[in-house]
Chains A and B, each alone.
Chain A
Amino acid sequence: MSSNGIRDQVAIVGMGCTPFGERWDKGVNDLLLDAAKDTIASAGVTLDDIDAFWLGTMASGVSGVALSKPLKIDYKPVSRLENFCATGSEAFRNACYAVASGAYDLAMAIGVEKLKDSGFSGLTGVRPVGDGTDAALSSPAAFSFVAPAYAHRYGVDADEMKQVMSRIAWKNHRNGALNPRAQFRKEVPLETITKSPLVAGDLGVFDCSGVSDGSAAAIICRAEDAHRYTDHPLYVKALSFVAGPGGGASDPDYDYTTFPEVVRSAEDAYRQAGIIDPRAQLAMAEVHDCFTPTELVLMEDLGFSERGLGWKDVMAGVFDRDGELPVNPDGGLKSFGHPIGASGLRMLFECWLQLRNEAPPERQVATVGPGRNLGLTHNLGGAPGECVSFVSIVGPEPSA
């Protein structure tokens, strides 16, 4: 595989993100406009200055017109993308490449999802007419295979495993409690999390991410033009996206303790960015904590923890906001919410705030500083054994 990367060729010069949550008051068009408005204000440009748009949404609109109409975009290219729960990241990635190619000077990546209007619990999606043979398992059920598999492989007893999962949820709620844009803005006691009603397998309600509405966006330009728009751009160091062969559910060798797609995309991204020791070199990470066991396994797949020891790092607070490597300081999918198409860009938005020291003091991570200022976003889509994975690395300085 050849993945050359576009290290430091493009930069983010403006970002915006709406509050996530049950946005009964806002339609898809309103959310898109709110995010776009904040983003152009952040970059100090007008919509007319932007040459091309990438809209990421799983099921809240189809075609570029879903964006061009509410924003009244004047005859410009608008692509609409979908790539499971990594949809927002995919919009960002494609916009970056378009700018890097020289085709456009200024591009916007915007993601949106309106999940709460369906009236259903959990995720719903539009599927093509099928043959009726897909197992009817929900997303929580598909991910619930991970916890017992991990516990079994690494000899973690069931109660300890539940504590590890609960602590991840507790940490992300604690982070989200300080974030005015988050869906759930209060701390939740560990005991409440541990005793929450089961949704699937060992996963309780508090082990699952929020179902939400929201939108987030970024404006991208060539790196050399970045200072025309802002004194503090974020340079794109790495973009990696992989889709796996989707055979996990058919493969007796797959044991549900890892996401091979994540391992591959992380390796690729680290190579592009020249990262050797992610735990020490990254100042923060925003990862796809769709369910608490997912975040646990990601700590190992992304190379933050040794195989089989991620649970110990979780319990030791390594990934707390004031820990060695803060993970999901904005609350993550768990507490910030998960409007599918927007989540990847929401992760970048937290990097935008934290790496540029714009997060409010009460939640600014202390790890960001001279010599250590890279942020990672990780976005996963699908289910264990059948997924897509995206990893980006961004930083406030061009590489030396």
Chain B
Amino acid sequence: MTGNGTTGILAWGVYLPYWRLQRSAIGATLGGPSGRGTRAVASYDEDTTTMGVEAARRTLAALGGSPPDDLYFATPAPAYLDKTNATAVHAALDLPEWTGAYDLLGSVRSSAAALRAAHAQSAAGGTRGLAVLADLRTGLAGGAEERDSGDGAAAFVFGPDGAEAPVVAELVAHAAASAEFLDRWRSPGDADSKVWEERFGQEVYVPLVEAAAAEAFKRAGIVAADIDHLALAGLHMRAVQAVGRSLGTRPEAVVADWASTVGNLGAAQAGMLLADALDRAAPGALIAVVVVADGADVFVFRTTDALPTVQADRVSRGVAMVAADAAAGRDDLPYARFLTWRDELRREPPRRPDPERPGAPATWRVTPWKWGFTASDCRACGFRHLPPSRVCLRCRTIDEMDPVRMADVTGRVATFTVDHLAYSPSPPVVGAVVDFDGGGRYRCEMTDVDPDRLAIGTRVEMAFRVLSTAKGVHNYFWKARPVAAPPANDVGEDRGGDA
């Protein structure tokens, strides 16, 4: 280890889904006033686990050195209870068995806990901690929750400074304020949250945030006006806006919240804003992350001299900046389809058998394939098999295979079809035969795709998705999706006053 002894953020990544819902589509369908702009929408085959995987993949893609020692997955909208969801993220990332994987479930405030845990673990033990924050925000049709929320995920790796991966932002202080009061709540199993009168929450929240911020700034040895980027996250938007004016920070320091394009990401909001700040911050900048949820958590980060190099490296690898991702997305999602995806509209099922639940032992036996998308290469002739095979298709050599992970390998569409007969929660199914760069062919489903714009030769990448859900079992596997045109990475018009 050649680092400088500090610990902090080594890598960051955000995932925003492909789809955007025009808020005007809600009013146009239901009648009544229409909101402006769009919100990010998880597709029918996404959940917090798959979005968390995508954010973590983006984070780990640009990270050198060893894999994380611990993974903390925070979401208020878990795919499973009782069963750990972080282990699914762990498997899809092909992390080693010795990496711990833990859920922090139920509340938006879990996101602060995940950041705390990932950092504390690395600070105490010199290890690497991966925090994954994901949320899929639901609400009743026509409500503010549905309109103003968004779906997405963010991930961060904390660890000691090192040659393979320098610390880009050191956590210099954290302070919390906790309080028990009814701001918002949801019964387990419900899709919609209840909220108390907004002004009540504002009155309780503002002093709590002010107290936590004052303590954090004190511990960091700074004053509010020193903050360069103020990332304010919370579902209570009035309280969030109020503290933006009352903490004594510079007005232009407030990080834009992307409310008009993405919506409020709930437990992932703090992550998206912190990532946006890291995308753009100069070395030596102070970033305050404030999570307003059942009290407040205030984190103060100081960026390091290593940040510009890492920023440039991300650009050269084609990693989209939050600003570019937030401005992208396909915004012609019909409201009826959105409601169908969220199970808010009962639709006539096709005259096809319901999908089968995958078997636990069969699934477990093929973990490297099903979760890690790991193919096999024949040692004798080099032929690549997807799915992995013990017998070589080309030279028939038996049991002489090397595993090779294909999840991050891109490819091109060799041929494709639009299947109107196969079962899908959102027909039609688009099937494609994919030829991977460097060898290997696989036939799979496609997602996030406009069949009218799909062609032989279209570049694709793999995405971790839910193929189907049967008897409460989510059948996770990989689909191909078109590689988005490289985002321009320029700062959009949508930005607030952030300097």
CA distance A271 to B444 in the complex (A): 38
Which residues of chain B have C-beta atoms less than 8 A from A251's C-beta?
A: 393, 441
Q: Which of B352-405 contact A (CB under 8 A)?
A: 352-353, 355-356, 358-359, 362-363, 365-366, 369-370, 385-387, 389, 393
Whether B441 lies near A201 (C-beta < 8 A) is no
Contacting B362 at CB < 8 Å: which of A129, A137, A140? A129
Min distance, Cβ A198 to any Cβ of chain B, angstroms: 6
Total chain B interface residues with beta-carbon distance under 8 A? 46
A1 within 8 Å of B (CB atoms): no
Whether B417 lies near A141 (C-beta < 8 A) is yes
**Which of A118-126, A277-285, A345-353 is found at the contact surface with chain B?**
A118-126
Whether B467 lies near A141 (C-beta < 8 A) is no
B471 within 8 Å of A (CB atoms): no
Which residues of chain A have C-beta atoms less than 8 A from B421's C-beta?
A: 121-122, 138, 140-141, 199-200
Whether B370 lies near A136 (C-beta < 8 A) is no
Which residues of chain B have C-beta atoms less than 8 A from A127's C-beta?
A: 356
A131 within 8 Å of B (CB atoms): yes
Q: Mark each residue of chain A from 133 to 173: 1 if its CB lies under 8 Å from any CB of chain B, else 0.
A: 10111101100110011001000000000000000000000
A361 within 8 Å of B (CB atoms): no
Whether A135 lies near B443 (C-beta < 8 A) is yes
Which residues of chain B have C-beta atoms less than 8 A from A145's C-beta?
A: 415, 417, 433
Given contacts A119-B351, A120-B353, A249-B442, contact A131 B424 (CB under 8 A): no
Q: Which of A299-321 contact B (CB under 8 A)?
A: none
A245 within 8 Å of B (CB atoms): yes
Whether A130 lies near B358 (C-beta < 8 A) is yes
Q: Which of B307-349 contact A (CB under 8 A)?
A: none
Interface residues on A, range: 35 or more
A residues in contact (CB < 8 Å) with B = 118-122, 124, 127, 129-133, 135-138, 140-141, 144-145, 148-149, 152, 198-201, 245, 247, 249-252, 254, 256
For the complex of A and B, 9 pairs with smallest distance between CB atoms: A132-B358, A129-B359, A141-B419, A201-B417, A247-B393, A132-B475, A138-B421, A131-B362, A249-B443
CA distance A119 to B353 in the complex (A): 9
B residues in contact (CB < 8 Å) with A = 350-353, 355-356, 358-359, 362-363, 365-366, 369-370, 385-387, 389, 393, 414-415, 417-424, 429, 431, 433, 435, 439-445, 456, 467-468, 475-477
Contacting A249 at CB < 8 Å: which of B365, B419, B441? B441
Min distance, Cβ B410 to any Cβ of chain A, angstroms: 15
Given contacts A130-B356, A133-B370, A245-B393, contact A250 B420 (CB under 8 A): no
Which residues of chain A have C-beta atoms less than 8 A from B370's C-beta?
A: 131-133
CA distance A122 to B419 in the complex (A): 12
Whether A136 lies near B355 (C-beta < 8 A) is yes
Which residues of chain A have C-beta atoms less than 8 A from B445's C-beta?
A: 135-137
Which residues of chain A have C-beta atoms less than 8 A from B386's C-beta?
A: 250
Which residue of the partner chain A has the closest CB to B365?
A: A131
Which residue of the partner chain A has the closest CB to B355?
A: A136
CA distance A130 to B362 in the complex (A): 6
Min distance, Cβ B200 to any Cβ of chain A, angstroms: 47
Which residue of the partner chain A has the closest CB to B428?
A: A200
**Chain A to chain B contacts (Cβ below 8 Å), 23 pairs:** A120-B351, A120-B352, A130-B358, A131-B358, A132-B362, A132-B363, A137-B431, A141-B419, A141-B429, A145-B415, A198-B418, A199-B420, A200-B418, A200-B419, A200-B420, A200-B421, A200-B422, A201-B418, A249-B433, A249-B443, A250-B385, A251-B441, A254-B441
User: How many Cβ-Cβ contacts under 8 Å join chain A to chain B?
Assistant: 121
Which residues of chain A have C-beta atoms less than 8 A from B475's C-beta?
A: 132
Interface centre among A136, A152, A249 (most CB of B within 10 A): A136
Which residue of the partner chain B has the closest CB to A140?
A: B421
Min distance, Cβ A205 to any Cβ of chain B, angstroms: 10
Which residue of the partner chain A has the closest CB to B366?
A: A131
Min distance, Cβ A360 to any Cβ of chain B, angstroms: 35
CA distance A251 to B392 in the complex (A): 11
Whether B362 lies near A256 (C-beta < 8 A) is no
CA distance A152 to B416 in the complex (A): 13
Whether B366 lies near A141 (C-beta < 8 A) is no
Min distance, Cβ B185 to any Cβ of chain A, angstroms: 35
Whether A138 lies near B419 (C-beta < 8 A) is yes
Whether B444 lies near A135 (C-beta < 8 A) is yes
CA distance A90 to B441 in the complex (A): 31
Which residues of chain A have C-beta atoms less than 8 A from B443's C-beta?
A: 135, 137, 249
Which residues of chain B have C-beta atoms less than 8 A from A136's C-beta?
A: 355, 422-424, 429, 445, 467-468
Which residues of chain A have C-beta atoms less than 8 A from B467's C-beta?
A: 132, 136
Whether A133 lies near B477 (C-beta < 8 A) is yes
CA distance A127 to B351 in the complex (A): 18
Min distance, Cβ B411 to any Cβ of chain A, angstroms: 10
Which residues of chain B have C-beta atoms less than 8 A from A137's C-beta?
A: 417, 419, 422, 429, 431, 443, 445
CA distance A245 to B440 in the complex (A): 16
Which residue of the partner chain A has the closest CB to B441?
A: A252
Min distance, Cβ A210 to any Cβ of chain B, angstroms: 15
Min distance, Cβ B12 to any Cβ of chain A, angstroms: 31
Which residue of the partner chain A has the closest CB to B419?
A: A141
CA distance A384 to B225 in the complex (A): 68
Min distance, Cβ B376 to any Cβ of chain A, angstroms: 10
Which residue of the partner chain A has the closest CB to B473?
A: A132
Extra pairs beyond A138-B419, A251-B441 (14, CB < 8 Å): A120-B353, A121-B351, A131-B370, A132-B362, A136-B355, A136-B429, A136-B468, A141-B421, A141-B422, A200-B420, A245-B393, A249-B443, A250-B393, A250-B441
CA distance A343 to B467 in the complex (A): 33
Min distance, Cβ A208 to any Cβ of chain B, angstroms: 9
Min distance, Cβ B266 to any Cβ of chain A, angstroms: 29
Whether A135 lies near B441 (C-beta < 8 A) is no
Min distance, Cβ A309 to any Cβ of chain B, angstroms: 22
Which residues of chain A have C-beta atoms less than 8 A from B366's C-beta?
A: 131, 133
Min distance, Cβ A245 to any Cβ of chain B, angstroms: 6
Min distance, Cβ B167 to any Cβ of chain A, angstroms: 39
Which residue of the partner chain A has the closest CB to B353?
A: A124
CA distance A133 to B462 in the complex (A): 14
CA distance A130 to B369 in the complex (A): 13
Min distance, Cβ A272 to any Cβ of chain B, angstroms: 26
CA distance A156 to B477 in the complex (A): 36
Contacting A250 at CB < 8 Å: which of B351, B365, B442? B442
Min distance, Cβ A128 to any Cβ of chain B, angstroms: 8
Min distance, Cβ B421 to any Cβ of chain A, angstroms: 4
CA distance A200 to B435 in the complex (A): 21
CA distance A121 to B422 in the complex (A): 10
Which residue of the partner chain B has the closest CB to A149?
A: B415
